[in-house]
Structure 1
Amino acid sequence: MEFLGPAGQAVTLAGRRVEPGEVEAALEAHPGIGHAVVLALGEDTHRRLHAVVTARGAEPTDLARQLSTLLPAHATPTGYTFLDRLPLTPDGTADRERLASLAAATAGRAGPPATPMERRVAAIWARVLGTEVTDRHAGFFAEGGDSITALRLVAAVNSELGADVPVRSFLAAATLADLAVQAESSATTHLPEESGII
């Protein structure tokens, strides 16, 4: 059985037209992906693509690497939700309304870094990647990161923030918000309150 998204579902991201069906086809070309549904989450300038996939061993880093060779950066999902199987409507098609709810719960709310830890991680992210973080759920690889800079980012976060984040754990989500949560939960030292300078 093939799960196909409805036709005519083009979305506009940062002034550019994206066909979710093309992104879904690129994802499903990966041998570790069974089926994929790509959704546009958020509003206005914080709108972004999120992929819900059924996976057989695929990881976000693998998917980001493959998509980078097939699609422009603005058409690459910034987040992923992995399911064993897609929820279906009574007529047997993917239940996009339910998937959007699941994806939103996974992705959380878009916006700039919101917590003290997120702002600290954002400062390191900006230094390592050379780009300011405007969306706490922006995908590291969609923002121009690669495996080498991922190693540098995690090493810097662990060193400077007294954290113990495994690289593999970061790569499983690869967003600033998730990295901040992992850093906070694994921190071995108490960080001082923020000053006016990050």
Structure 2
Amino acid sequence: MNATKREQIFARLKAHNPEPTTELNWSTPFELLAAVLLSAQATDVGVNKATARLFPVANTPQAIIDLGLDGLKAHIKTIGLYNTKAENLMKTCHILVERYAGEIPRTRAELEALPGVGRKTANVILNTAFGELTMAVDTHIFRVANRTRIAKGKNVLEVEQKLLRHVPKAYLKDAHHWLILHGRYTCLARKPRCGSCVIEDLCEYPDKVEIG
């Protein structure tokens, strides 16, 4: 895929959705971090239901600590793997209070050192909370990047690096939101909705289907 076609793809995605963002509900960087930690192998809808119960009660690291592990689990028990997630979130809250005065660190290394935070989560925080030009590659982005040929790669890191290199800089801040939403609602894993895709004529996927 050439640079001109990539430019056209992201121009259309922007025209279709000028201000994309995460579907997780958050109002502070800590709330975003907590929501992303809880979102592994869970839907954003499910996480939002849990955080709607949790955040009015505790939405800072110290407030989570004060809630206690059992109290935290009680608020998020509807989410899969909630025991492990609660433990990681609690450990993270202690680190944030003890080392960062309750603030969220703004470097990848510091974020990835937090319990339960991997490269993808760090990229989400850096991009969505702090506006940095990062690419949080999840299963949706990995599929869309490879299927469309925007950025082919054998693993998520390779796709991330190629997207950072190939996505026009003007679109890079919002690119991962566009690609996630495109994969979630249009470029579906089993039956892509090619018939209603805004970039169908630009996509280089050889096995397009006429599902709208």
TM-score by length of 2: 0.24
Higher relative contact order, structure no. (Cα contacts within 8 Å, ≥ 6 residues apart): 2
Structure number with higher strand proportion: 1
Rg bigger for which structure?
Answer: 2
